[in-house]
């Protein structure tokens, strides 16, 4: 899957292709996922690294902007968000919920999750909050909740 995604990004993402060409990397020479060039996070502040046309972008995540610089942006469509979650959930289950992962036939047991971030409705540009919401939907009980209040919630706005 990683090699297929690399080929797609190489073909449809001009800034990424230029970055790869500078490292003499292309789908013709890359044989393993570990050889795929990773883009430094600072590059996402300078260029749009997206294969999606503007009209197909249904979600955008921003970095926190804690460095005082322009936040980086990551664009998604419904399909890319599904892929995002497909890569997240099995890893999360295996490494952080091994007792659930070990059960046979995936029982319907859900666990109480107390998530120490704002709710997705109060942090719609956060990829971390999006991932926590995906985990909550997959593994959390109905009583699971996000505990951190956003500034708007705290002031009653």
Q: Is residue 26 part of a domain?
A: no
- Write the Ramachandran bin of 53: left for phi over 0, alpha for psi from -120 to 50, otherwise beta: beta
Residue range 47-95, pLDDT digits in tens? 888 888 889 998 888 877 666 667 778 888 999 899 889 889 999 998 8
* pLDDT at position 116: 94
Q: Is residue 138 part of a domain?
A: yes
Q: Is residue 126 part of a domain?
A: yes
When pLDDT is cut at 50, 70 and 90, the band that residue 24 belongs to is: very high
- pTM reported for the whole predicted model: 0.71
* pLDDT at position 83: 86
The residues near 150 (Cβ < 8 Å, ≥ 6 apart) are 118, 119, 122, 123
Give helix then strand counts, H and E, for the chain.
7, 4
Residue range 83-139, pLDDT digits in tens? 889 889 999 998 888 877 666 445 567 899 999 999 999 988 888 999 999 999 999
Q: Is residue 107 part of a domain?
A: yes
Give the number of domains in the chain. Answer: 1
Smallest Cα–Cα separation from 67: which of 41, 28, 29?
41
In which domain, by residue range, is 110 found? Answer: 40-155
Q: Are 74 and 127 in contact (CB under 8 A)?
A: yes
Helix/strand/coil (H/E/C) assignment for every residue in 83-115: HHHHHHHHHHHHHHCHHHHCCCCCCCCCECCEE
* pLDDT at position 44: 77
Q: Is residue 105 part of a domain?
A: yes
Q: Is residue 11 part of a domain?
A: no
Pairwise CA distance, residues 81 & 98, whole Å: 24
Q: Is residue 10 part of a domain?
A: no
- Name the token pair of 12: 């449809």
Q: Is residue 61 part of a domain?
A: yes
């Amino acid at each position: 899957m990683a090699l297929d995604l690399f080929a797609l990004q190489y073909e449809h993402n001009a800034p990424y292709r230029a970055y790869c060409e500078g490292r003499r990397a292309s789908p013709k020479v890359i044989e393993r996922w570990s050889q795929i060039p990773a883009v430094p996070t600072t590059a996402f502040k300078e260029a749009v690294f997206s294969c999606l046309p503007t009209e197909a972008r249904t979600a955008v995540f921003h970095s926190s902007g804690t460095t005082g610089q322009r936040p980086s942006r990551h664009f998604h469509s419904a399909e890319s968000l599904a892929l995002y979650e497909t890569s997240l959930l099995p890893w999360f289950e295996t490494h952080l919920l091994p007792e659930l992962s070990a059960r046979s036939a995936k029982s319907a047991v859900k666990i109480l999750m107390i998530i120490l971030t704002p709710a997705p409705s109060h942090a719609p540009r956060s990829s971390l909050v999006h991932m926590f919401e995906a985990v909550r939907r997959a593994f959390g009980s109905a009583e699971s909740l996000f505990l951190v209040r956003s500034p708007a919630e705290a002031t009653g706005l």
